[in-house]
């Protein structure tokens, strides 16, 4: 039997891909997002890292910077813990068509490597119960780049998936918002830019956001029934930071 060294907590949510009301899927409850600085401090504090947290952070940042440089030159990366490579998205309509940034997109793809997969037998999963399914964003897809929970392309479509997302109710707070992480400025998506408005999926046109990091929020009075509305909007915030480059 594997030596359990780690524990992941997860909540259960209704499975929207089947008609069975008793089907559920598990979503990991993220403790919090760790920065390079925090990981290095934890590594030194736990022992086994024969260096200082500051020196480790410096070297890790040098490595990541060089990795980004090499990826951008078309090299693939294999660290053992993850692999990475550049991808080109979009359709080319003839053998002589050249790359067009308005039609095509470059992005980087990361996948787990062999060393990380070896950790899986050491992880225990604790199901802590049903998650709050009143309203929930599970993921967002930037249609232009194909990026999930990562990039935003202004003036292009964003597909938002989740539970009870349908925008309903006349409270002024109802809507989709992008919140700038540096300035806290909130940008609301115009009602005319809501392309699809369903309980499990919203498709919107991303506003003309400046470069930076953003969180996304959906607020609605939708109760799950078309015959009744909640008295006050409920809000869901995606637990990932999205980037406009």
pLDDT of residue 60: 97
pLDDT for residue 245 is more than 90: no
Segment 80-88 mean pLDDT:
95
Q: Could you tell me the CATH number of the domain that includes residue 29?
A: 4.10.520.10
DSSP 24-88: EEEEE----PPPHHHHHHHHHHHS---S-HHHHHHHHHHHHHHHHHHHHTT--EE-SSEEEEEEE
- Per the prediction, the chain carries an average pLDDT of 92
User: In this structure, are 64 and 167 located in the same domain?
Assistant: no
Domain, as residue range, for 76? 6-127
User: In this structure, are 104 and 82 located in the same domain?
Assistant: yes
Distance CA 54, CA 60 (A): 10
Comparison of pLDDT for 135 and 62, the residue scoring more: 62
Distance CA 207, CA 190 (A): 8
Comparison of pLDDT for 219 and 138, the residue scoring more: 219
pTM above 0.75, yes or no: no
User: In this structure, are 122 and 137 located in the same domain?
Assistant: no
pLDDT for residue 17 is more than 80: no
pLDDT for residue 133 is more than 80: no
pLDDT of residue 22: 86
């Amino acid at each position: 039997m594997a030596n359990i060294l780690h524990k992941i907590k997860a909540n259960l949510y209704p499975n929207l891909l089947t008609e069975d009301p008793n089907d559920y899927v598990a979503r990991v409850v993220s403790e919090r997002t760790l920065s390079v600085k925090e990981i290095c401090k934890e590594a030194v504090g736990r022992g086994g890292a024969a260096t200082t947290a500051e020196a480790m952070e410096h070297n890790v940042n040098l490595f990541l910077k060089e990795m980004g440089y090499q990826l951008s030159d078309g090299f693939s990366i294999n660290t053992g813990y993850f692999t990475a490579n550049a991808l080109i998205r979009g359709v080319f309509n003839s053998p002589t068509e050249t790359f067009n940034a308005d039609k095509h997109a470059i992005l980087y793809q990361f996948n787990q490597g062999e060393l990380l997969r070896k950790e899986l037998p050491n992880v225990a999963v604790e199901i802590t119960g049903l998650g709050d399914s009143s309203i929930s964003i599970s993921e967002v897809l930037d249609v232009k780049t194909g990026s999930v929970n990562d990039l935003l392309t202004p003036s292009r479509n964003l597909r938002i998936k989740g539970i009870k997302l349908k925008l309903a109710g006349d409270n002024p707070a109802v809507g989709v918002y992008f919140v700038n992480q540096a300035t806290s400025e909130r940008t609301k998506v115009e009602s005319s830019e809501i392309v699809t408005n369903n309980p499990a999926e919203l498709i919107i046109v991303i506003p003309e956001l400046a470069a930076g990091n953003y969180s996304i929020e959906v607020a609605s009075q939708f109760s799950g029934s078309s015959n009744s509305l909640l008295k006050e909007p409920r809000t869901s915030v995606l637990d990932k930071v999205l980037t406009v480059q």
